[in-house]
Structure 1
Amino acid sequence: MSAAAAITWQGLKGACLALPVLIAAVLAGAMIGETPLAPDLVLSVLANKLAGAGLPVDPVDQGIIWSYRLPRALVAGACGAALAVAGVVLQALLRNALADPYILGISAGASTGAVAVTIAGLGGGALSLSFGAFNGALLAFGFVAILARAAGAGGSRAAAAQIVLAGIAGSQLFNALTAFIIAKSANADQARGIMFWLMGNMSGVRWPDVWLAVPLALAGWVICRFHARALDAFTFGTDSAASLGIPVRRAQVILICATALTTAVMVSIVGSIGFVGLVIPHAARFLVGPGHRKLMPAAALTGAVFLIGADIVSRIIIPGQVLPIGVVTALIGAPSFAVILVRGRRAAR
């Protein structure tokens, strides 16, 4: 068997193993909640909606499954996969185990855009929170990119450090703008609502968000997966990547823009969800190793399942109340990252 055929066979085998796991996670997201619903009920709703089966289903149960829980599960899966893949890419490009999708200031910019629309009244009520968050995220990314380029006189060896420092500066600037707008213009109810959104809020997710999040997550994964060989090379530095024939500058621009765009869209839909892009790449490396050809699918699947599970926990952990999903990911992600740090230190000895 040729090498190309072996790689294709491994990819098909991995897809056959991953698809049932992902489907099971989505079905669990549709079944589990404050009101548990039976698996056959969920399958009946899917049969009615997708195939016109006409099975008898209570309209209330059908509305809960089709209009509320299923879109949440699908968007959670797409968001988890996109953030995990973005974390894999940025940790390789920046050669920094602590890099995550929000290091480019995207989350801070999205926060500023959201509060500018909802609290400061930018757009006169014609703009949605998601639209404001998306444009704020792009504005922050543009600021960080310009700042990093302006500081780029030191050459490629310092590029990673310059991007990290520019991201920190951009995050601090846009966080300050967010705090200023809230302090100046928000009443108590507005401040509470925007803080809930900033911690990750999937309560407003509906099918239009699915049609945006899922295709974009798939497109971002395909782009990053196509550059798996380049990412393997980047882990040894840009000089090593260039010596292997990798077009360093073009690959960096494509990968950073892809991760920035997908992160901006996910943040605009669900708010800021921490630790997914930081912890999941390390967990995936523990499962399949550092090679990005296997790491990318593993991280996407692990991130999707993790965030669907976190969304389920956010709905059932406190009866009668839905927690921000970012609280759940932090409660799970912080101890997990501590374990990863301790294991890594011991392995390095």
Structure 2
Amino acid sequence: MRTSSLRNAVRLALMAMAFLAKWAAPTFSMAPTPSNDMEMSFGKHRGRLISEIVEDDPSYLQWLLGQAEAAGPQLEASAHPYVFPVDLDDGRLLEISWRKGDDHEKVAHDFVTEKGLPEDNIPEIISFLKDIEQNRVGYRVDEPVSEAPSRQLLEVAEFVWKHFPQVEGLVSFGKYRGRALSQVVQDDPEYCSWILETAAKADSSDQLRQAAKRIQENHPDLVTQLEQWPENADGQTTVTCGKHKGKSFQAVLQEDTDYVCWLIDNIGDEARSKNLRALISFARRHADCRGGVEGKQAANWIQENHPDLVTQDTDYVCWLIDNIGDATGGVEVKQV
């Protein structure tokens, strides 16, 4: 490799830099971006401020953060951001590539060894590598840009982590969309139980898995409580299903023995809800189920008319119990 060849390569690099600058010139909005805000430069929200996306579509940013966590190490380990042609005087056109941060001397030595060039070219090659990195010119040829992990994505993720850390703590789906997950943990542990159980399934969404991961990492006491619900529930545990929702197990036992006895007799261990299983477990230890005419009539009606509900839809069973009354000549549905 001669000096003229290196100069040709540098000229090609400068031409590439000029082309990239023209092709990827940023578009500027009329209003200045706040110092604590950033404009998205890719994806479906391209051109919008991060603060707007936090309000309108936090699930997208949560997805982006997850992608950044997964792609960061891969990006640093596998990217070849500097790839340039080298035109030799003998007519050969070679290609040199390296990663930012690589040892320039080793890159140069490996290059001349692989291509069969004299080692006295190594100093010129090292100088060439340094010049390219100082001009921050580089492009990928080993994978399509659309499929490669994006450094822009990492930059946005770092910005969100720094200025909008609350995004990770928001629920991005379901009836609590937009609420803080920590508040949902306090208000509706049964819903959190559903998140954990559903996220464990193979076909669960990324949003559910991320929410489950945050519950497990930030609320281990709740996870332990949910795991122990059926066995260790006490009278102060709150009911989250049916007409007694919001009451303690002890209050339900005192106010409506027929109800808990019906749960024991007709749902038992088949309950899908952990909270319902916990209530049944508590009732088995403390309820006196020797009486209860009205509750047994309701149970008989459900078994005769909807036998599949007992094991397949316990929430609907709760609704039926709420809306079934004892009438002369049998049981009638009061609401459809």
* TM-score, normalised via structure 2 length: 0.23
Decide which structure has the larger Cα Rg and report it: 2
Structure (1/2) with the larger helix percentage: 1
Structure (1/2) with the larger strand percentage: 2
